Structure 1
Amino acid sequence: MSDIGDPVKAATKGAKHEAPPGLKLSLLSNGIDFIQSGIEHFFLKDDPDPRSHKYAILHLFAGVLLLLKERLRQEHWSLIFKDVARAGESDAKTVDFDEALQRLKSCSKIRISDRDAKLLRKAQLLRNRLEHYEFELNLQESQNLIGRLSEFTYLFLRDNLATDLERHLSPEVWERLRDLREIARRLEQERHEAWLRRTAKYRELSSEDLIAIREELEPYHPKHNPDPVDAQWCDSCGTESLVCVENGIAVCTNPECRAIETVGECMRCYAPVIGGGDLCDGCQDYINSDNS
């Protein structure tokens, strides 16, 4: 395949192969330092406080970004710079999270699964909120996120950077880290049981009750109801019949369907998201088009 039209391949093809002194050390060692800080800060405590949750997320994500750059550096050191033609210059900027993922996909054999990409995207959005906004953490959700991020870093270091995270953690923390999968499974089971309890009354609604819920939606009015609550699309029956009945729950008012869905909030624009995802369709399309 020709390198014409591909600025990354074109620039790296003729670039010097000798990386600036200390580049390898700073990326990998600093990444491990951030990860160690985030994990130790969180897992050394039996009951981590909100501040520990916050800094675990901030430091883990910072460390993960450095690991992604280190893997790019191993492919070719100039790939970590936004403009590879300026690679090594003192004021040259390095790639951000989205660019790192895109270049790993384009220029290496590393493939970040859709599941892991979604995890990292969620961590990035939460990191941004924690850094730039006044934001109250859901500690159970952040604990699950921290656990999954820790698992990702352990596997990425082992599989792609030939580094054993255990060697960089205290025995006590490593012992706790090994239990993460069990913690994640238990949290998922508890969420499922809580969901069944919360939605039990909606599974017992009559056809008349469902129709009444739909009819109670107030239509648009420029003065009295300028921002109406509309029925959402139901994937189960293919009709616009899903209605949010309470925080986090939507019910399909089609008596032949009766689907019950989670309702999340878009972490970018705060619009409702059916299915409990992190981004609405509009924001997801915007990010995908921006990174294509």
Structure 2
Amino acid sequence: MSTGGTGPRVDFLPVPNGIDYLSEVVSRLARPDEDVTPRDLKYAVLHLQAATEVLVKARLQIAHWSLVVKDVSKCTKEKYDEGKFESATIAESMRRLVDVVGLPIEKSDSEAVEELGKLRNRLQHWGLQETVALVEKQAASVLDFLMRFVDEQLIPELGEEQIASLQGEMNLVRHGVRKIGHLRGDPPRSLA
């Protein structure tokens, strides 16, 4: 939070915001299984979905602001800058990363993101009754994708100052992801 003219302000730009969500996910999952509660899993799924959406759209924004907008014919740059627009769905955003930006997103990663979205929808709108193992497996797949995505597709696009400001939290996230893999006996591909 920053302070300015009329008092404290919320200041979360897209990439730091997405990394903050990831930090919350690993803080809930990087513990022994017996210490991870259903509530931890619930918020890990919700925050992981938010992290995915924010980070994917941050990369689209780097390519061009209009790629984040659901229907660019209903939006101007001014409206975009003010946040007065409807953004593309996560599925459409993933498609745009591949088809418009030209990023090499594996089909299995897109499918994992899609499945996480379904899990999040069930959890948030209808309730969720599922095994802990399935929820953790789904979360691990998306965490693995996001760690690679941040390292390969976002960080190279950021300025040195932005990278430096993110390093501490990214190191904590990386450590947490390794710990999750170690606790579950299956380290993510990106960290193996």
TM over 0.5: yes
Aligned: 1:63 with 2:55: no
Aligned to 1:122: 115
Match among 81, 85, 94 for residue 92 of structure 1: 85
Greater helix proportion: 2
Following the alignment from structure 2 to structure 1, what is the Cα–Cα distance between the partners of residues 36 and 167? 21
- Does 2:133 correspond to 1:132? no
Deviation at 1:64, TM superposition (A): 0.8
Matching residue within 51, 69, 73 for 2:61:
73
Give aligned-pair identity as a percent.
Answer: 27
Query: Contact 2:19/2:170 (CA < 8 Å) preserved in 1?
Result: no
| Deviation, structure 1 residue 60 | 0.7
Mapping for residues 266-277 of structure 1, pairs under 5 Å = none
CA deviation after TM superposition for structure 1 residue 156, in Å: 0.6
| CA RMSD after TM alignment | 2.5
Work out the CA distance in 2 between the residues paired with 1:78 and 1:118.
Answer: 24
- Give the CA deviation at 1:93: 0.9
| Contact residue 40 and residue 169 of structure 1 kept, 8 A | no
Equivalent residues in 2 for 1:2-151 (5 A)?
A: 26-44=13-31, 47-85=35-73, 86-88=75-77, 89=79, 90=82, 91-151=84-144
- Look up the match of 1:19: none
SS of equivalent to 1:95: coil
Contact 2:60–2:97 (Cα < 8 Å) also in 1: yes
Question: Aligned-pair distance for 1:26?
Answer: 2.4
Q: Is the 8 A contact 1:50 1:137 kept in 2?
A: no
Contact 1:71 1:161 in 2 (8 A): yes
| 1:94 partner SS | coil
Query: 1:50 Cα shift?
Result: 0.6
Which is richer in strand?
Answer: 1
String of CA shifts for 1:80-136, please: whole Å, max 9, x gaps: 111223143143111111220121122112122111111111101000000101221
C-alpha contact 1:119 1:149 (8 A) present in aligned 2: yes
> Following the alignment from structure 2 to structure 1, what is the Cα–Cα distance between the partners of residues 185 and 50?
22
- Between the aligned partners of 2:149 and 2:17, the Cα distance in structure 1 is 15
User: What amino acid is aligned across from residue 117 of structure 1 in structure 2?
Assistant: S
Preserved CA contact (<8 Å) 1:75 1:107 = no
| Runs (5+) with no aligned partner, structure 2 | 1-11, 156-162, 188-192
Larger radius of gyration: 1
Match of residue 157 from structure 1: 150
Of 32-41 and 70-79, deviating more is 32-41
Measured in 2, the distance between the counterparts of 1:74 and 1:48 equals 36
Identify the residue that residue 178 of structure 1 maps to in structure 2: 178
Q: Please report how far the alpha carbon of residue 41 of structure 1 lies from its aligned counterpart in structure 2 after TM superposition.
A: 2.4
**Letter aligned with residue 33 of structure 1:** D
AA aligned opposite 1:32:
I
What is the identity, as a one-letter code, of the residue corresponding to 2:168?
Answer: R
Counterpart AA for 1:107: V
Aligned CA distance change for structure 1 residues 174 and 158 (closer, same or farther; 3 Å): closer
- Give the TM-score normalised by structure 1: 0.50
**C-alpha distance in structure 2 between counterparts of 1:110 and 1:28, whole Å:** 18
Unaligned ranges ≥5, structure 1? 1-24, 187-292
Residues 250-265 of structure 1: matches in 2 within 5 Å?
A: none
- Find the residue that maps to 1:178 and give its secondary structure: helix
TM-score normalised by structure 2 residue count: 0.73
- Counterparts of 1:176 and 1:27, CA distance in 2: 21
In the comparison of the two structures, how many residue pairs are matched? 161
- Alpha-carbon distance in structure 1 between the residues aligned to 2:39 and 2:91: 27
SS at match of 1:161: helix
